[in-house]
């Protein structure tokens, strides 16, 4: 079989046609899907009907899974599924309400971040004009690496950036609104503040080589990097801003408009992503995410 693909007009975000991810997928067909995933970084399947077990089973075809580090939003009976949701049931949030609302790679707090993630749309917010809200944007850091201006490439190649969870947390809290009546953070935010992991610092190569394809990509996340090794904070800030501006050039970015039943998977080395928070209750957005373990085993828990 030769896989049918509807290509987007960007390097990533291509739709794989005619596949039921809940069904039996023959080994040769699966190999083509995996090759497309490796090659393009973001692929998607529309009109899927997946129970949590089926999503986990399809995800496991790609290898081991890893649980999301903030455990309180992992599904109780299927901890491999991390719930992203703004729905509140009996006063309790169903999932993390504001997951991924900045340009990032998943779980940069780990020494060897996950291979990728798979997000399945259960509920999609539709506004009064009938338009879907809560898009997810993806940027190809592989295509961005290929298009790097020579001077910026020379500046970052061989360098490591210092990812610092405390710096990220402080930056994130400065953007988190307090309750206008109590003047304090919500109970959910306070719980997360007390549960957050101890300060984690990871030194990541700014250019990572993909373990399966050998292709180079820029490794970056907004707000997470305190500085670049061997550079002052000021010097680092200028370089990081140049990297950010380059990676987010429109030609490298695909914006996914969700419909219920979409299953989107992204490679965590060759792209960045960002969730757009342009909706609120009573509109509901609920997604189930599985996370594919790193292809390079983590030596120490991080």
Q: Does 271 bind ligand SIN (CB under 6 A)?
A: no
Q: How far is CA 129 from CA 126, 132, 133, in A?
A: 8, 9, 11
The footprint of ligand SIN on residues 80-99 (CB under 6 A) is 84, 99
Taking residues 179 to 198 in sequence order and writing x for each that binds ligand SIN by CB under 6 A, - otherwise, the string is: --------------------
CB-wise, 119 or 161, nearer to ligand SIN? 119
Whole-number minimum distance, CB 104 to ligand SIN, in Å?
A: 7
Q: Does 165 bind ligand SIN (CB under 6 A)?
A: no
CB-wise, 11 or 100, nearer to ligand SIN? 100
Environment class of 36 (CB within 10 Å of its CB; exposed 0-12, middle 13-18, buried 19+): middle
Residues, the chain: 302
Q: Does 115 bind ligand SIN (CB under 6 A)?
A: no
Q: How far is CA 218 from CA 40, 143, 145, 267, in A?
A: 15, 9, 6, 13
Q: Does 275 bind ligand SIN (CB under 6 A)?
A: yes
Cα-only R_g, the chain: 19
Q: CA nearest 114: which of 63, 56, 59, 66?
A: 66
Q: Which residue is nearest to ligand SIN (CB)?
A: 100
Q: Does 12 bind ligand SIN (CB under 6 A)?
A: no
CB-wise, 11 or 114, nearer to ligand SIN? 114
Whole-number minimum distance, CB 212 to ligand SIN, in Å?
A: 21
Q: CA nearest 99: which of 299, 284, 275, 290?
A: 275
Q: Does 290 bind ligand SIN (CB under 6 A)?
A: no
Size of the site for ligand SIN (CB under 6 A): 10
Whole-number minimum distance, CB 301 to ligand SIN, in Å?
A: 21
Out of 122, 243, 253, 287, name the contact with ligand SIN by CB under 6 A: 287
Return the H-helix or E-strand segment holding 6: strand 4-6
What is the DSSP track for 138-171?
A: EEEHHHHHHT--HHHHHHHTT-EEEEEHHHHHHH
For ligand SIN, the binding residues (CB under 6 A) are 84, 99-100, 117, 119, 136, 273, 275, 287, 289
């Amino acid at each position: 079989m030769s896989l049918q693909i509807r290509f987007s007009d960007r390097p990533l975000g291509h739709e794989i046609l005619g596949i039921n991810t809940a069904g039996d997928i023959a080994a040769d067909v699966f190999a083509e899907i995996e090759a497309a995933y490796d090659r393009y970084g973001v692929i998607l399947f529309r009109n899927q009907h997946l129970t949590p077990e089926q999503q986990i089973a399809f995800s496991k075809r790609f290898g081991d899974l890893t649980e999301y580090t903030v455990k309180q939003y992992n599904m109780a009976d299927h901890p491999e599924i991390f719930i992203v949701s703004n729905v509140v049931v009996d006063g309790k949030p169903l999932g993390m309400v504001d997951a991924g609302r900045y340009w990032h790679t998943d779980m940069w707090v780990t020494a060897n971040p996950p291979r990728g993630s798979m997000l399945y749309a259960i509920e999609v917010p539709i506004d009064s004009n009938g338009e879907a809200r809560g898009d997810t944007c993806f940027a190809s850091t592989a295509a961005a690496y290929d298009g790097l201006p020579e001077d910026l490439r020379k500046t970052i190649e061989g360098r490591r950036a210092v990812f610092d969870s405390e710096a990220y947390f402080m930056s994130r809290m400065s953007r988190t609104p307090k309750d206008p009546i109590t003047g304090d953070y919500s109970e959910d935010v306070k719980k997360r503040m007390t549960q957050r992991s101890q300060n984690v610092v990871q030194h990541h190569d700014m250019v990572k080589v993909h373990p399966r394809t050998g292709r180079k990509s820029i490794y970056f996340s907004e707000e997470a990097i305190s500085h670049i090794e061997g550079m002052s904070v000021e010097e680092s800030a200028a370089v990081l801003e140049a990297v950010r501006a380059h990676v987010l050039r429109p030609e490298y970015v695909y914006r996914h408009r969700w419909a219920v039943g979409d299953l989107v998977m992204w490679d965590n080395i060759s792209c960045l992503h960002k969730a757009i928070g342009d909706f609120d209750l009573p509109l509901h957005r609920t997604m189930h995410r599985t996370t594919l373990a790193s292809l390079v085993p983590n030596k120490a828990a991080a």
